[in-house]
Amino acid sequence: MLAVSAIAIGLLAIGGSSRLTANTSVLPPGALAPSARERMIARQVGSLLEDAHYSRLKIDDSISPRVMDKFLNGMDGQRSYFLASDIAEFEAYRLRFDDMIRTGDIEPAYAMFARYQQRNRERVQYALSLLDTEPDFTLDEQFEFDREGAAWPASKAELDELWRKRVKNDAISLLLAGKNWTEIRDTLRTRYDRVLKRAEQIKPEEVFELFLNSYARTFDPHSSYFSPRNSEEYKIQMSLNYEGIGASLQTVDDYVTIMNLIEGGPAAAAGTLSVNDRITAVGQGKEGPLTDVIGWRIDDVVQLIRGKGGTVVRLQVLPVGAAPGSPEKLVEFTRGKVTLEAQAARKELKIIKRGDREHRIGVINVPGFYSDYDAQRAGDATMLDVVGDGPEREALMAHAASLGLAERVRWYGALAQPALVPLYQGARALAIPSREEGLGLVAVEAQLCGTPVVAYADGGLIDVVRPEHGGTLVAVGDTRALGEALARLLADEASAHERGMAARDDMLARFSPAAVAGQYLSLYRQAVQ
């Protein structure tokens, strides 16, 4: 039923006409504006969602704020463009999104997008101006690259400071790649110019798609409105084959990000890409120059990656979980025919004998299916983040898939220490199943972040993970006890938080610079007595 809904909505983007005249009175001069046809389609999609969607949600004031928030997140999910004053101004529309789609008077949404374009232009131009002067790389500064859920910047000065650090961070990533300042400046100037150009190339149909998907995905994560361009992509999916590497992509911030690896495709077979890896550059052939694609339109990146079967394409990738500026990897693929039949449902007839009787049972095998979105919304969908690498990784990934858990396990590989912090902070608990461990530095780091640790009672972990201070130790090799301890923390968020804070206080008392210095001083004093 979900697929039918998506197809039906997509078809509306292709046909139909109207004599209605768009009212653009709220739009600034030169802004993108909805056409009469799009106003008509908006009304039709609204009716279709209410009347035909299985959820039976009503588009009214109760759903309007959720739609508006999805629309804002679609434009500025990292809260790096809009000012708090912009958001305050938009509050006038918070209870009007239900009326917009019912009446077709969708100009306020386009006015919000026009403001986003304005802020985008201002930010990129400011970033370009910063390239006139080389940053001071000797300063000890921090850049918050994940701002989802952060407060909207209160002033232009605050936004300027955010973007100064962002530009500096971009420069550091290239510095670590061995480029000098002149090369860094030229690369970033090209990149930012491209971002600016992309923003100016946005078409009304793209704004319309974003607008309608804010409604469709409020109903459920699978319902989508297809623009004519994305309708063509859908035809490829329905044809069950194309030539490329077999990866589904999505733009996240300025990065084209791996969202899925298609079973049987070159990328899945190679095992060198992971979901949420970010593509930073694309090269043709084994020796062709790498083209920086940060800030590119996703369809332009797709065109670079797809190509004739048997040819080679190289991707420069920022691994999942790695902060911008972290070491990147270069992976190579030979393009091939990607057969999507591997993802299609397959039928099978099984004959089971019971006594003298035969029972014929039809089985439909679905290799990949939906995530448990209801459970996620209820907070019941547990995700396992696996950090680290080794010879058993592929076997473990295959084991997770065989258990039907592929969608709930994220494989990060080896990560630099700065990239671990957001993972520590976002986890309900950290499991350390090591059977032999020295100090247990990971346990110290996690507890300093307020994350409770469950570990085997071995080696240095006995001294670091203390039950009287929020830690949990179980007998070495007792996997059942390890799982049960984790389950208790997952079931009781308040208890997990309390134990994490207790562990953090213990770590600060024992491993802070001042505490360690005091311990060394005590040892020195004992030694000289």
In a domain, 275, yes or no: yes
Task: With a cut of 90, say whether residue 279 has pLDDT above it.
Answer: yes
d(CA 500, CA 470): 6
- 3-class DSSP assignment, residue 329: strand
* CATH number of the domain residue 396 falls in: 3.40.50.2000
131 CB-near residues (< 8 Å, 6+ apart):
167, 185, 188, 189, 192
Contact status, residue 187 vs residue 173, Cβ threshold 8 Å: no
In a domain, 469, yes or no: yes
Task: Outline where 59-106 has alpha helix (H).
Answer: 64-76, 84-90, 97-103
**Phi, psi angle pair for 158, to nearest 5°:** -65, -40
Which of 107-111, 167-171, 268-272: highest mean pLDDT? Answer: 107-111
End-to-end CA distance of the chain: give it in Å, rounded: 81
Tell which residue, 418, 399, 451, has the closest CA to residue 324. 418
Tell which residue, 283, 123, 298, 292, has the closest CA to residue 191. 292
Q: What is the pLDDT of residues 54-77, one digit of tens each?
A: 888 899 999 999 999 999 998 998
- 3-class DSSP assignment, residue 220: coil
Report the C-alpha dihedral over residues 66, 70, 73, 75, rounded to 10 degrees. -130
Task: Looking at the structure, tell me whether residues 286 and 410 fall in a common domain.
Answer: no
Task: Looking at the structure, tell me whether residues 315 and 455 fall in a common domain.
Answer: no
pLDDT at 131: 96
**Domains in the chain, number:** 3
Task: With a cut of 70, say whether residue 340 has pLDDT above it.
Answer: no
93 or 4, which is more confident? 93
Question: What share of the chain in percent tops pLDDT 70?
Answer: 85
Task: With a cut of 70, say whether residue 418 has pLDDT above it.
Answer: no
Burial state string for 502-518 with b = 16 or more CB within 10 A and e = fewer than 16: bbbebbeeebeeeeeee
pLDDT at 321: 78
pLDDT at 42: 93
Residue 385: strand pairing partners: 410
Contact status, residue 49 vs residue 77, Cβ threshold 8 Å: no
Q: Which range is least confidently modeled, 62-76, 78-92, 101-115, 482-496?
A: 482-496
Burial state string for 104-134 with b = 16 or more CB within 10 A and e = fewer than 16: bbbbbbbbbbbbbbebbeebbebbbebbeee
pLDDT at 22: 41
pLDDT at 18: 35
In a domain, 485, yes or no: yes
Task: Looking at the structure, tell me whether residues 73 and 210 fall in a common domain.
Answer: yes
pLDDT at 291: 92
One-letter amino acid for residue 85 of the chain:
S
Task: Looking at the structure, tell me whether residues 50 and 175 fall in a common domain.
Answer: yes
- 3-class DSSP assignment, residue 166: helix
Q: Which range is least confidently modeled, 17-26, 31-40, 186-195?
A: 17-26
d(CA 192, CA 199): 11
One-letter amino acid for residue 100 of the chain:
M
In a domain, 526, yes or no: no
Task: With a cut of 50, say whether residue 7 has pLDDT above it.
Answer: no
Residue whose entry in the numeric block shows the structure tokens 């308040």 = 494
pLDDT at 232: 58
Task: Looking at the structure, tell me whether residues 62 and 162 fall in a common domain.
Answer: yes
Task: Looking at the structure, tell me whether residues 193 and 244 fall in a common domain.
Answer: no
Report the C-alpha dihedral over residues 213, 125, 327, 74, rounded to 10 degrees. -10
Task: Looking at the structure, tell me whether residues 113 and 43 fall in a common domain.
Answer: yes
pLDDT at 366: 60
In a domain, 358, yes or no: no
Question: What share of the chain in percent tops pLDDT 90?
Answer: 32
**Confidence category of residue 283, pLDDT binned at 50, 70, 90:** very high
* CATH number of the domain residue 295 falls in: 2.30.42.10
Domain carrying residue 18: 2-219
Task: Looking at the structure, tell me whether residues 387 and 473 fall in a common domain.
Answer: yes
| Domain limit, last residue, from 318, 342, 366 | 342
CB half-sphere exposure, 85, CA atoms < 13 A: 7
Q: What is the pLDDT of residues 467-479, one digit of tens each?
A: 888 899 888 888 8
- Please, what is the average pLDDT of the chain? 81
Q: pTM for the full model? A: 0.52
One-letter amino acid for residue 517 of the chain:
A
In a domain, 364, yes or no: no
**Confidence category of residue 241, pLDDT binned at 50, 70, 90:** low
- 3-class DSSP assignment, residue 156: helix
Task: Looking at the structure, tell me whether residues 330 and 392 fall in a common domain.
Answer: no
Task: Looking at the structure, tell me whether residues 11 and 133 fall in a common domain.
Answer: yes
- 3-class DSSP assignment, residue 47: helix
| Domain limit, last residue, from 172, 189, 219 | 219
One-letter amino acid for residue 343 of the chain:
Q
Average pLDDT over residues 272-293: 91
- Based on its alpha-carbon atoms, the radius of gyration of the chain, rounded to whole angstroms, reads 27
Task: Looking at the structure, tell me whether residues 93 and 15 fall in a common domain.
Answer: yes
Report the relative pairing of strands 290-292 and 278-284 from DSSP bridges.
antiparallel
In a domain, 366, yes or no: no
pLDDT at 476: 84
Task: With a cut of 70, say whether residue 224 has pLDDT above it.
Answer: yes
In a domain, 233, yes or no: no
CA angle in degrees (0–180, nearest 5) for 378-247-227: 75
| Domain limit, last residue, from 290, 325, 342 | 342
Q: Residue 430, class by beta-carbon neighbours within 10 Å (0-12 exposed, 13-18 middle, 19+ buried)? A: buried
**Confidence category of residue 231, pLDDT binned at 50, 70, 90:** low
Task: Looking at the structure, tell me whether residues 211 and 252 fall in a common domain.
Answer: no
